[in-house]
């Protein structure tokens, strides 16, 4: 059973009270309990199961502009007393930093908690195994599937309390159910692998196991017997699983930490046109059942809904308290990073997108992390499927795709097939003028 709010609050209150008695001017504490259970399946047979029950505390104390943090998973009273004492003593010998402080009181979250982030449904191991076996059985109905590369089901339940000496004390429960199936295909000596994945706050919202297995098999079979191609300039279409990664790169580029350090190609670009006029990017923390939804960030600050890019123009950064002071901007509740980050959908159908040019390359896998947010350069290994005259023609492998975000962002066309499958989501994306390195 997940620890209840009153239990966590009692520990948090004790830490704050004791830290003040020992000489801290301010303090912040997080007390969290999480219970995770998972099963792994291979070839329809159980390949392992795990259960973890974690109870932990993270304490931060301040003495003026000095700050130190300490964490522990031992929450008996005697150890907590030692923990608080050690943290305060460490603070005393820590150098001052003029930007250290608790967040401003008026920025704290106070409101209802009605985002439906917790499902008390419990799935026992037998049902977990049954769920993922159905996925694998469906995958094996495809005659080209010869093996599974590992499939699994997990559930996570957590509860936490965040409190500080400015009077903030709040928390909430969350749940997450996740299932995936990864399979291996073979034909004419060629072997490939691919997967399908689903993760939701509520068990009932997961993709059905039969569809998981069917999709995994289809993706893996579509990669079989790939061809090598010559180097050339091409327009690329990025599968939704890949196109969302550009948003992650964008988010890193507009974090207040990167802006303050000057380690991003988007420094000083507020109110500048960085995408074409059809592109809009939003980060919303209040989507019902959203995988990234939150009421407040790791500082207790209310999470504003952000229109980061409007009509291609950069409108805001992702700002936390500490780095916000360095760039003279108030926190907008992003000390924990993005929430539900997404491109607003475009107005072109998927079918029209793949028919938009005579020759296109559909990218369904990338290899490596080839994004440099300082320069904007982008280069990764990739594989995909060649599209000719609007039809998927043949798979392609062993290529490198490259460009620079300055040009890539302005050459994006988005389809209208946005789905909220992850915490970061994108429609299918076309980017023209990319460099493809082949044989």
Identify any residues that bridge with 185 across adjacent strands, giving them in sequence order: 145, 192
Residue 356 shares a structural domain with residue 414: yes
- Select from 221, 252, 274 the last residue of a domain: 221
For residue 369, what pLDDT band results from cuts at 50, 70 and 90?
Answer: confident
Collect all residues with Cβ–Cβ distance below 8 Å to 285 and sequence separation of at least 6: 292, 293, 294, 295, 303, 304, 305, 333, 339, 340
pLDDT at 191: 96
CA gap 228, 381 in Å, rounded: 13
Residue 307 shares a structural domain with residue 346: yes
Across residues 347-354, what is the average pLDDT?
Answer: 96
pLDDT digits (tens, 9 = 90+) for 56-101: 999 999 999 999 999 999 988 889 999 999 999 999 999 999 999 9
pLDDT digits (tens, 9 = 90+) for 116-173: 999 999 999 999 999 999 999 999 999 999 999 889 999 999 999 999 999 999 999 9
User: Quick one: which H or E segment has residue 50?
Assistant: strand 45-63
Residue 362 shares a structural domain with residue 418: yes
Across residues 328-341, what is the average pLDDT?
Answer: 97
For residue 15, what pLDDT band results from cuts at 50, 70 and 90?
Answer: very high
Average pLDDT, the chain: 96
pLDDT at 1: 86
pLDDT at 392: 96
Residue 271 shares a structural domain with residue 294: yes
CA gap 79, 407 in Å, rounded: 55
Q: Residue 41 belongs to a domain with what CATH number? A: 3.30.2290.10
CA gap 11, 171 in Å, rounded: 13
Residue 132 shares a structural domain with residue 260: no
Residue 182 shares a structural domain with residue 241: no
Residue 177 shares a structural domain with residue 146: yes
- Select from 190, 221, 252 the last residue of a domain: 221
Residue 280 shares a structural domain with residue 338: yes
Residue 174 shares a structural domain with residue 268: no
pLDDT digits (tens, 9 = 90+) for 216-228: 999 999 999 999 9
pLDDT at 44: 85
Across residues 15-42, what is the average pLDDT?
Answer: 96
- Select from 189, 221, 253 the last residue of a domain: 221
pLDDT digits (tens, 9 = 90+) for 239-288: 999 999 999 999 999 999 999 999 999 999 999 999 999 999 999 999 99
Residue 233 shares a structural domain with residue 186: no
Residue 230 shares a structural domain with residue 306: yes
Structure-block tokens of residue 7: 């239990």
Beta-strand pair 424-425/340-343: parallel
CB 178 within 8 A of CB 139: no
Collect all residues with Cβ–Cβ distance below 8 Å to 102 and sequence separation of at least 6: 26, 28, 62, 164, 165, 166, 299, 321
Residue 267 shares a structural domain with residue 180: no
pLDDT digits (tens, 9 = 90+) for 177-199: 999 999 999 999 999 999 999 99
pLDDT at 313: 98
Rg for the chain (alpha carbons), in Å?
24
265 DSSP 8-state letter: T
CA gap 220, 192 in Å, rounded: 6
* Total number of domains constituting the chain: 2
Domain, as residue range, for 372 = 226-439
Across residues 19-41, what is the average pLDDT?
Answer: 97
Please tell me whether residue 19 adopts helix, strand or coil conformation: helix
pLDDT at 149: 87
């Amino acid at each position: 059973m997940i620890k209840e709010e009153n239990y966590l609050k009692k520990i948090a209150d004790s830490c704050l009270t004791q830290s003040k008695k020992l000489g801290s001017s301010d303090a912040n504490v997080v007390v969290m309990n999480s219970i995770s259970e998972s099963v792994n399946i291979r070839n329809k047979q159980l390949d392992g199961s795990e259960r973890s029950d974690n109870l932990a505390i993270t304490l931060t104390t301040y003495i003026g502009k000095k700050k130190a943090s300490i964490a522990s998973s031992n929450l008996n009273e005697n150890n907590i007393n030692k923990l608080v004492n050690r943290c305060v003593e460490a603070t005393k010998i820590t150098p001052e930093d003029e930007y250290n402080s608790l967040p401003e009181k008026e920025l704290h979250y106070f409101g209802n908690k009605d985002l439906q982030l917790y499902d008390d449904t419990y799935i026992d191991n037998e049902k977990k195994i049954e769920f993922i076996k159905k996925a694998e059985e469906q995958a094996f109905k495809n005659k080209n599937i010869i093996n599974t590369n590992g499939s699994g089901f997990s559930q996570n339940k957590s509860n936490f309390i965040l409190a500080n000496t400015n009077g903030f004390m709040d928390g909430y429960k969350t749940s997450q159910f996740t299932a995936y199936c990864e399979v291996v295909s073979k034909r004419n000596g060629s072997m490939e692998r691919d997967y399908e994945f689903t993760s939701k706050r509520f068990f009932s919202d997961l993709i059905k196991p039969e569809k998981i297995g069917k999709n995994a098999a289809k993706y893996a079979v579509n990669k079989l017997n790939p061809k090598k191609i010559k180097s050339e300039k091409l327009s690329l279409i990025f599968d939704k699983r890949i196109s969302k990664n550009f948003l992650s790169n964008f988010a890193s580029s507009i974090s207040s930490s990167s802006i303050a350090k000057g380690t991003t190609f988007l420094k000083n670009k507020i109110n500048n046109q960085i995408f074409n006029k059809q592109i809009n990017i939003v980060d919303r923390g209040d989507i019902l059942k959203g995988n990234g939804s939150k009421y407040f960030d790791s500082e207790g600050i209310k999470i504003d809904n952000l229109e980061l890019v409007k009509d291609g123009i950069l409108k805001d950064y992702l700002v936390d308290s500490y780095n916000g002071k360095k760039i003279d901007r108030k926190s907008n509740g992003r000390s924990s990073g993005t929430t539900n980050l997404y491109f607003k959908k475009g107005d072109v159908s998927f079918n029209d997108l793949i028919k938009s040019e005579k020759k296109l390359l559909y990218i369904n896998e990338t290899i490596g992390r080839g994004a440099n947010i300082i320069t904007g350069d982008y280069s990764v290994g990739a594989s995909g499927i060649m599209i000719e005259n609007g039809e998927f023609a043949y798979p392609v492998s062993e290529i490198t795709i490259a460009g620079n975000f300055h040009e890539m962002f302005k050459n994006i066309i988005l389809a209208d097939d946005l789905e909220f499958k992850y915490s970061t989501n994108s429609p299918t994306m076309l980017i023209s003028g990319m460099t493809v390195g082949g044989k």
